[in-house]
Amino acid sequence: MAQAKIRLYLEQPLAAGQPLPLNEGQAHYLFAVMRLAAGAQVLVFNGRQGEWLAEVVQVAKRAGTLRALAQTAPQRDPPDLWLMFAPIKKARTDFIVEKAAELGAARIMPVQTDFTNAERIRQDRLQAHAVEAAEQCGGTFVPVVAELAPLARALDGWNPARRILWADESRLGPAATLAGLAPGPWAVLIGPEGGFSAPERARLGALPFVTPVSLGPRILRADTAACATLTLWQASLGDWR
Ligand code: SAM
C-alpha cells in the first residue's frame, strides 16, 4: 500500500466509505500541484473526527472526489488556551497565527489595542494559515481565528473563569514561572510593537483574573513573545507536561 503523506483539511463529516467532494482549491493542490492520480491515498481531517486515510476516486480539473477508508488517528483537541494578540506587520501576524496553531492554541483572537497600527485584518487569510499549519504539523484540530475586536470590548464581556496570562513588557527581569497557577481555561495576551498604553496597563493590572508575567530580561518582538508565552504555558499547564 502506498504511504499517504499529504494531509488535507476538509469540512465534510468523515465515515468509512464516505465520498468527499473537493473544492477547486483542494483539487488544484492535489491534482495540479501534487500530481495525484486516481487511487492515490491522502490523509484527511475535519477538526472534529480525527484523521482518516482516503483515496482519490475521481480527478477533474477544478473538482474531484476522495473516499474515506479508515480512521488513522483519534481526534485530539488542544487544552483550553486562547491567544489574544495585537496584529503587527502582515508577515509577522501570519507567523503568529501559524505558530499558535502549531503550539496548540485552541482559539486565536486578534485584538486592537491603543497602540495597534493595523485597523483591519484578513480573517479568511489568517484562518487559511491556521488550516495549513494544522495540515503540516500532524494536528487534527484547527483553531478558529476570530475577527479583529477591540481589547477593551473583549475585556468588558470577559468570563472571569478564563484567566489571562498578560505578557507585560514592564516586568523585564527573571522570566516567569507558572508554578502554582491552576490549570483550566486561560488566554495569553501579547501587545503590539509599541506595547500597552498606560490606561490599558492600569485596567489589566486591576483585573483579578489577569496574571502579569515577565518573559526575561530582554524586550522580545511580539511574534517571539507570543511563541515564548504559549510555550511557557504549554510546558507548565498544558499538554506538553
Ligand atoms: N515597545 C515596548 C517597549 O519597548 O517596552 C515593547 C513591546 S514588545 C515589542 C511587544 C509585546 O511583547 C509586549 O507588549 C509584551 O506583550 C510582549 N513582550 C516582549 N518582551 C517581553 C518581556 N520581556 N516580558 C513580558 N512581555 C514581553
pLDDT digits (tens, 9 = 90+) for 31-46: 999 999 999 999 999 9
Residue range 7-73 in CATH 3.40.190.10:
no
> In which residue ranges of the chain is CATH 2.40.240.20 found?
7-73
Read out DSSP for 46-98? -SSS-EEEEEEEEE-SS-EEEEEEEEEE---PPPSEEEEE---SHHHHHHHHH
Determine the pLDDT at residue 211.
96
Cell of 115: 497602540
Please check whether residue 204 is in contact with residue 187, taking contact to mean a CB–CB distance below 8 angstroms.
Answer: no
Determine the pLDDT at residue 175.
79
Reported as a single tens digit per residue, the pLDDT across 43-78 is 999 999 999 999 999 999 899 999 999 999 999 999
Determine the pLDDT at residue 80.
98
Q: In this structure, which residue's CA is closest to atom 27 in ligand 1?
A: 169
Q: Is the beta carbon of 195 within 6 A of some atom in ligand 1?
A: yes
Determine the pLDDT at residue 173.
85
Q: Is the beta carbon of 139 within 6 A of some atom in ligand 1?
A: no
**What fold does the segment set 81-237 form as a domain?**
Alpha/beta knot (3.40.1280)
Q: How far apart (Å, rounded) are the C-alpha atoms in residues 158 and 174?
A: 29
Helix residue spans in 149-197 (DSSP H):
151-156
Among 220, 223, 224, 232, residue to substitute to test ligand 1 (most atoms within 8 Å of Cβ): 220
Q: Is the beta carbon of 225 within 6 A of some atom in ligand 1?
A: yes
Q: In this structure, which residue's CA is closest to atom 10 in ligand 1?
A: 222
The residue behind cell 489577569 is: 210
> In which residue ranges of the chain is CATH 3.40.1280.10 found?
81-237
Q: Is the beta carbon of 215 within 6 A of some atom in ligand 1?
A: yes
**Cα–Cα separations (whole angstroms), residue 123 to 90, 120, 189:** 12, 9, 19
Could you tell me the distance, in angstroms and rounded to a whole number, from the CA of residue 159 to the centre of ligand 1? 25
Ranges of residues in the chain with a pLDDT under 50 are 1
Reported as a single tens digit per residue, the pLDDT across 19-34 is 999 999 999 999 999 9
Q: Is the beta carbon of 214 within 6 A of some atom in ligand 1?
A: yes
